[in-house]
């Protein structure tokens, strides 16, 4: 629990550091603080997963929360390391950058450990409001402005749905407590009223907006493209992961007894999400936009765990999210470097990269393979868990749809590999700063390690 407090105080400290012109100290302090939060979070882990709700049942910091906190914090640390020297070019309010990212992270930690709909709402909103600002942080860039406005309007809109859903559920059950709602469902299955069902539907709509699942995805590509790359990275990894963690927590702990009601809905959403994301990604000429659309399709895969909800769902989402996050970090890290040199987000910017920067090309290849779900990378393990989960519920057609989509995704992920290795271009060597080397190397190693021996992290959540 200490980790939430640390992560909440840390940005304030950073803001004040920024005030007193201690720009050099920002990154070290942020990273050290996050490491402290990481440690305190890990210490909360218990073998038997026997955590009890705290703060009057507001939060439940169990192993699920620990696992997702850890991956969120680690991803954030990596992203912050990538930010070395990046923000200075965009804006002169660097401290605010770090602070807002960390505020958002604080919201995320709440999102993965809530035990009451109030806290879920608060967590989501702390995260979202911070992101609205982050998306528009490049004040004079039109695309960034537009991204911020779209994200803001859509986010606020979806919040409305989410809240209305929560209100209806409260009306039906008279409580915001997750266990309370579940108990109500279990104790009075006969008189479940339409209020409750409508509430669940609206919550699905709201959450699907937040995680960018089709048909509520239309803001995603614009926002992802318009926002600065690092922020896009943050949004498409940590935020998405947290969104799904919150999603799963709600549906597995709370709405499980009426699973037969909402699974068909989510099933349709999943299938649409997969196809929309993949097919649109196929036509993109910009790497960043491709990543944006592919993140929609990844949202589709992540939905698998919720559609096929069961004991293994948490682990499946965790594995998939981990794989997806670290691979995305590599991809965006590479994109930032390439963009600095070539000034373009397009695939052609990667042409011939392998000749001059074998290391960069190699880690990017690992990332792309992982995203495409090729064995011996973490991405495959993630997909494997998802498929296993779905098949265990006999959703064979869903899996076949997913397989078709996995095949489609090969086309666009391999475009990067093809560009790097098989196309030639006159280019200079891209300079890879030491921070980037560390982050990219670490992520690539983690990808392979998890891919080869997933047991290292798959035991976190039982």
Partner 1 sequence: MTVSILLFLPVVAAVLTLFFKNEVAKHAALFFALVELGLAISFVTGFVPNASIQYLVDLPWIPQFGIYFSAGIDGISMVMVLLTTVLVPLIILSTYEHQYKNGKALYALILFMQAGLLTVFTALDGFLFYVGWEAALIPIYFICALWGGENRIRVNIKFFIYTFAGSLFMLVAIIYLYLQTPSKLYDIHSFYELSLSLKQQNWIFWGFFIAFAIKMPIFPFHTWQPDTYTEAPTAGTMMLSGIMLKMGIYGVIRWLIPNAPNAFAYWGYYALILSVIGIVYGSVIAFRQKDGKRLVAYSSIAHVGLIAAGIFAWSVQGVQGAMIQMISHGINVVGMFFIWDIISRRLGTRDISLMGGIAKVAPKFSIAFLIIVLGTVALPLTNGFVGEFLLLKGVYNYTIVFAAVAGLTIIFGAVYMLRMYKNVMQGELNELTATFTDIKGSERLVLGIICALIIIIGVYPQPLLHLSEASVTNLIQTVSAKFTATKF
Partner 2 sequence: MESLTSTIQAVPLNHYIFLSAIIFSIGVMGVLLRRNAIVIFMSVELMLNSVNLLLTAFSVYRGDAAGQVFVFFIMALAAAEVAVGLAIIVMIYRNTNSIDINVLNRLKW
Partner 3 sequence: MEAQSLPVNYLPIIFQMLVAMGFVVTTMFVTHKIGPKRQTKDKLTPFESGIEVVGNARTPASIKYFLVAILFVLFDVEVIFMYPWAVNFRDMGKTGMIEMFIFMATLLAGFIYVIKKKALDWD
Q: Which is nearer to partner 2, 158 or 322 (by Cβ)?
A: 158
C-beta of 91 vs 393, nearer to partner 1: 393
Q: Which of partner 3, partner 2, partner 1, none interacts with 387 (beta carbon under 5 to 8 A by kind)? A: partner 1
CA nearest neighbour of 326 among 447, 449, 460, 452: 447
CA proximity to 295, closest of 245, 241, 344, 336: 241
Member of 19, 47, 48, 434 binding partner 3 (CB under 8 A) = 19
Does 15 interact with partner 3 (rule: CB under 8 A)?
A: yes
Contact partner at residue 38 from partner 3, partner 1, partner 2, none, CB < 5 to 8 Å by partner kind: none
Residues 122 and 307: their CA atoms lie apart, in Å, by 25
Among residues 48, 142, 190, 191, which is the contact residue for partner 2, using CB under 8 A? 142
Q: Does 300 bind partner 1 (CB under 8 A)?
A: no
Interaction of residue 215 with partner 1, rule CB under 8 A: no
User: Is residue 391 close enough to count as binding partner 1 by CB under 8 A?
Assistant: yes
Q: Is 140 in the site for partner 3 (CB under 8 A)?
A: no
Of 24-32, 230-238, 369-377, 438-446, which segment contacts partner 1 by CB under 8 A? 369-377
Residue 449 in the binding site for partner 1 (CB under 8 A): no
13/26 Cα distance (integer angstroms): 9
The partner in contact with residue 140, picked from partner 2, partner 3, partner 1, none with C-beta cut-offs of 5 to 8 angstroms by kind, is: partner 2
Question: How many binding residues for partner 3 (CB under 8 A)?
Answer: 4
3-state secondary structure of 377: coil
* Crossing angle of the two packed helices 396-422 and 358-372, in degrees rounded to 10: 170
- Whose Cβ is closer to partner 1: residue 131's or residue 399's? 399
Residue 386 CB neighbour total at 10 angstroms? 28
- Nearest alpha carbon to residue 68 among 8, 128, 109: 109
Residue 411 interacts with partner 3 (CB under 8 A): yes or no:
no
How far, in Å, CA of 74 to CA of 409, rounded? Answer: 27
- Contact letters (x/-) for partner 2, 206-225, by CB under 8 A? ------------x--xx--x
In angstroms, rounded to a whole number, what is the distance separating the alpha carbons of residues 30 and 27? 5
Comparing CB distances to partner 2, the nearer of 203 and 386 is 203
* Alpha carbon distance 275, 400 (integer Å): 12
Distance CA 404, CA 291 (A): 19
Strand partners, 116: 177
x/- mask, partner 1, residues 421-440, rule CB under 8 A, reads xxx-----------------
Q: How far is CA 163 from CA 167, 219, 336, 435, in A?
A: 6, 20, 37, 41
Looking at the Cβ atoms of 195 and 374, the one nearer to partner 1 is 374
Separation of alpha carbons 291 and 344, rounded Å: 14
15 contact choice in partner 1, partner 2, partner 3, none (CB below 5 to 8 Å, kind-dependent): partner 3
- Among residues 411, 429, 431, 433, the one that binds partner 1 under rule CB under 8 A: 411
Report if residue 418 touches partner 1, rule: CB under 8 A: yes
Q: Give the 3-state secondary structure percentages of the chain, helix then strand then coil, rounded to 5.
A: 80, 0, 20
Return the number of the residue (327 or 369) whose C-beta is nearest partner 1: 369
- Do residues 6 and 33 touch, judged by C-beta distance below 8 A? yes
Name which of 210 and 298 has its Cβ closer to partner 1: 298
Nearest distance from C-beta of residue 3 to partner 3, angstroms: 18
Cβ count near 195 (within 10 Å): 15
Cα atoms in the Cβ-side hemisphere of radius 13 Å centred on 301: 35
Looking at the DSSP bridge assignments, the partners of residue 286 are 346
Contact 58, 119 (CB under 8 A): yes
Q: Does 157 bind partner 2 (CB under 8 A)?
A: yes
Minimum CB distance to partner 2 smaller for 134 or for 366? 134
State yes or no: residue 197 binds partner 2 (CB under 8 A).
no
CA distance 144 to 353: 28
* Token digits of residue 208: 């699907």
CA R_g for the chain: 21
DSSP annotation string for 218-276: THHHHHHHHS-HHHHHHIIIIIHHHHHHHHHHHHHHTSGGGHHHHHHHHHHHHHHHHHH
Number of residues binding to partner 1, judged by CB under 8 A:
28
Q: Which is nearer to partner 3, 20 or 142 (by Cβ)?
A: 20
> In whole angstroms, how close is the CB of 176 to partner 2 at the nearest point?
6
Q: Which is nearer to partner 1, 260 or 455 (CB)?
A: 455
CB of 12 to partner 3, least distance (A): 5
Residues forming the site for partner 1 (CB under 8 A): 369, 374-376, 380, 384, 387-388, 391-392, 396, 399-400, 403, 406-407, 410-411, 414, 418, 421-423, 453-455, 458-459
């Amino acid at each position: 629990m200490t980790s939430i407090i640390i992560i909440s105080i840390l940005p304030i400290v950073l803001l004040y550091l920024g005030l007193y012109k201690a720009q050099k100290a920002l990154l070290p302090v942020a990273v050290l603080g996050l490491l402290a939060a990481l440690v305190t979070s890990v210490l909360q882990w218990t073998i038997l997963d026997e955590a009890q709700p705290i703060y009057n049942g507001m939060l439940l910091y169990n192993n699920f929360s620990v696992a997702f906190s850890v991956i969120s914090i680690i991803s954030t640390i990596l992203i912050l390391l990538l930010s070395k020297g990046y923000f200075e070019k965009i804006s002169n309010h660097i401290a605010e950058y770090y602070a807002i990212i960390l505020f958002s992270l604080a919201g995320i930690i709440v999102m993965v450990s809530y035990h009451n709909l109030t806290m879920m709402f608060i967590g989501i909103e702390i995260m979202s409001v911070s992101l609205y600002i982050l998306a528009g942080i490049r004040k004079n860039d039109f695309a960034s402005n537009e991204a911020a406005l779209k994200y803001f309007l859509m986010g606020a809109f979806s919040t409305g749905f989410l809240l209305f859903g929560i209100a209806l559920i409260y009306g039906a059950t008279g409580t915001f407590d997750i266990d309370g709602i579940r108990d109500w469902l279990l104790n009075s299955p006969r008189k479940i009223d339409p209020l409750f069902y409508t509430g669940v539907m609206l919550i699905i709509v709201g959450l699907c907006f937040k995680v960018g699942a089709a048909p509520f995805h239309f803001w995603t590509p614009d926002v992802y493209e318009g926002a600065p790359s690092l922020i896009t990275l943050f949004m498409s990894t940590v935020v998405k992961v947290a969104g799904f963690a919150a999603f799963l927590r709600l549906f597995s702990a709370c709405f499980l007894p009426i699973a037969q009601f909402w699974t068909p809905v989510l099933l349709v959403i999943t299938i649409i999400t997969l196809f929309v994301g993949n097919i649109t990604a196929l036509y993109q000429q910009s790497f960043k936009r491709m990543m944006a659309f592919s993140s929609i399709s990844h949202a589709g895969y992540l939905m698998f765990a919720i559609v096929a909800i069961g004991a293994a769902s948490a682990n499946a989402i965790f594995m998939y999210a981990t794989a997806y996050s670290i691979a995305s970090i590599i991809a965006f890290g590479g994109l930032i470097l390439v963009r600095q040199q070539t000034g373009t987000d397009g695939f052609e910017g990667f042409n011939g990269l392998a000749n001059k920067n074998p290391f960069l090309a190699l880690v990017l290849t690992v990332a792309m393979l992982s995203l495409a779900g090729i064995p011996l990378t973490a991405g495959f393990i993630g997909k494997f868990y998802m498929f296993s989960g779905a098949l265990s519920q006999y959703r064979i057609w869903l899996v076949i749809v997913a397989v078709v989509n996995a095949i489609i995704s090969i086309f666009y992920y391999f475009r990067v590999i093809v560009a790097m290795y098989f196309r030639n271009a006159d280019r200079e060597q891209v300079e890879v700063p030491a921070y980037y080397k560390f982050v990219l190397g670490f992520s690539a190693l983690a990808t392979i390690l998890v891919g080869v021996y997933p047991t290292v992290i798959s035991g976190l959540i039982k």
